[in-house]
Structure 1
């Protein structure tokens, strides 16, 4: 089915999501209002509707990705500054790529697979086995990307440490154990971050690059790369790499607020009085 028709369907689904089934409506509204306390109720509603439009577009784009051609994918996702990755990899140095839940990360995987570099993508296994397998099949349509289940990623990284490739992480998910997370102020709120991204970088002395994927128009994205940390990390304060990621992602969200995944229960944890994590 042509993407233009799918977008027409997505527009209808947006109103169903918002007005009829109210998909995570309270979560979305609360996340937006806490992140942007200066917004008035009408502005929060307007931004929520923009987000629902973005979310339903993502949904149809995911299914469109089942059959999209290499040529069309190259046209729809433009990569900027990939030389930051290529320079490291050509020198034999793996790179940690960190991103937030912005833009269309499913298309980002396809686009990375069609580049001249190798990439490992760490993913969270879905609860539904059938849909998890379907998602895996879609993500692995094109060569160039190796999918690593999150629980296996530490061992796999050790085994693949001599392969020059990018290691892609969605680094803005809510940790399951808030007491062992790294906490910082993010979008006006105390926010927990996984420490794994920084541990990867420090343990293997890998550089870290921020990935931004922004939609410029329906079906057209720009994926850009920006170094945020380079080894040696001996004199870099612990937590600084996470801080740099948080600040850069925050800047992008403020600039493109409708493209962040507000339906995610990102702030479900309250900061504990005592933190137990150690580097």
Structure 2
């Protein structure tokens, strides 16, 4: 059944991927109407999240953010599909780094690097940084149930020299690399909500106290990695840039959870600047201290 679904869907994805960007965004505009107005995908969740996280905005302002965030989400989904056939020249033109020299300085320090980022702007295209680095790049992701689509995702990201690690394999792979002296760059999109019974730390995120993942911090401490935050920005439709921001160079010396708290303050700053480019459909505030 998995293979049948893949064989039916793959030709559609490939046809979308070869569309010129102008047509791609026309398709996105049509899908936006379907997803937002007709299906209403997770609209209740989005409105609850926006009300909790952005209470300082009026209902009219939150509605604007809501609509623009859906448009951005659909654009991002199609841009991910476009990655199947996009050329290096095209994607390098559309996703740039403002201070790659800072990253190079961190490689020169001779320690593996943990990259903290959020589900903001174009977190999918961030993987092109692997074309510009010397260390081996690893992306932490949640395995897709359909093994054929899972392989497709791995192959797509492999175009950018990125090796994907399933969340269940992360610790074992990182420890193995550390013992072998393999210098790596590990990307963590660490702004998801953990299962509440697994939570080891709570912090305020957009003014609401919630459980947060601490695995990225603990692994950075255990493997003594330098830590960078990536601030993403959307310059226009299909055009993005990213900036590396130093966090810590000696995580073992930082009190537990301080690095995680620092990360969430940085994510908050991004969101407050341009909330429409955050992925509001995920249940970030499903569990709160009050509830």
Shared fold (TM-score, shorter chain, > 0.5):
yes
* Aligned with residue 252 of structure 1, among 259, 270, 276: 270
Partner of 1:158: 175
8 Å Cα contact 2:154/2:163 also seen in 1: no
Q: Which moved more, 1:128-137 or 1:41-50?
A: 128-137
Higher helix share: 2
* Aligned with residue 223 of structure 1, among 233, 238, 242: 242
8 Å Cα contact 1:85/1:166 also seen in 2: no
Partner of 1:103: 121
Counterpart-to-counterpart distance in 1, 2:197 and 2:240: 34
Partner of 1:277: none
Is residue 137 of structure 1 aligned with residue 155 of structure 2?
yes
Q: Cα distance, 1:180 vs. partner?
A: 2.7
RMSD after superposition: 1.7
TM-score normalised to structure 2 length: 0.88
Counterpart-to-counterpart distance in 2, 1:179 and 1:94: 27
Counterpart-to-counterpart distance in 2, 1:218 and 1:14: 14
Q: Judging changes above 3 Å, is the alpha-carbon distance between structure 1 residues 271 and 117 closer, same or farther for their aligned structure 2 residues?
A: farther
Partner of 2:75: 57
8 Å Cα contact 2:222/2:252 also seen in 1: no
Counterpart-to-counterpart distance in 2, 1:108 and 1:270: 30
* Consecutive unaligned residues in structure 2, runs of 5 or more: 1-18
**1:41-120 → structure 2 map (5 Å cutoff):** 41-109=59-127, 111-118=128-135, 119-120=137-138
Q: Secondary structure at the match of 2:159?
A: coil
8 Å Cα contact 1:184/1:191 also seen in 2: yes
Counterpart-to-counterpart distance in 1, 2:111 and 2:196: 32
Partner of 1:276: none
Q: Which moved more, 1:40-49 or 1:122-131?
A: 122-131
Q: Cα distance, 1:83 vs. partner?
A: 2.5
Is residue 9 of structure 1 aligned with residue 27 of structure 2?
yes
8 Å Cα contact 2:196/2:211 also seen in 1: no
Partner of 2:218: 199
Q: Deviations over 1:118-163 (max 9, x none)?
A: 31111111233332222222111232x2211111110100111222
Q: Judging changes above 3 Å, is the alpha-carbon distance between structure 1 residues 142 and 233 closer, same or farther for their aligned structure 2 residues?
A: closer
Q: Deviations over 1:23-80 (max 9, x none)?
A: 1000011101110112222222111100111011111111111100011111111112
TM-score normalised to structure 1 length: 0.92
Q: Secondary structure at the match of 1:238?
A: coil
> Number of residues paired by the alignment?
270
Partner of 2:231: 212
8 Å Cα contact 2:116/2:227 also seen in 1: yes
Q: Which moved more, 1:153-162 or 1:112-121?
A: 112-121
Q: Judging changes above 3 Å, is the alpha-carbon distance between structure 1 residues 272 and 38 closer, same or farther for their aligned structure 2 residues?
A: closer
Q: Which moved more, 1:176-185 or 1:253-262?
A: 176-185
Q: Secondary structure at the match of 1:120?
A: strand
Partner of 2:281: 263
Q: Judging changes above 3 Å, is the alpha-carbon distance between structure 1 residues 67 and 163 closer, same or farther for their aligned structure 2 residues?
A: same
Is residue 173 of structure 1 aligned with residue 192 of structure 2?
yes
Q: Judging changes above 3 Å, is the alpha-carbon distance between structure 1 residues 116 and 270 closer, same or farther for their aligned structure 2 residues?
A: closer
Q: Deviations over 1:221-271 (max 9, x none)?
A: 10110011121633x322110111010111011111011110011111233
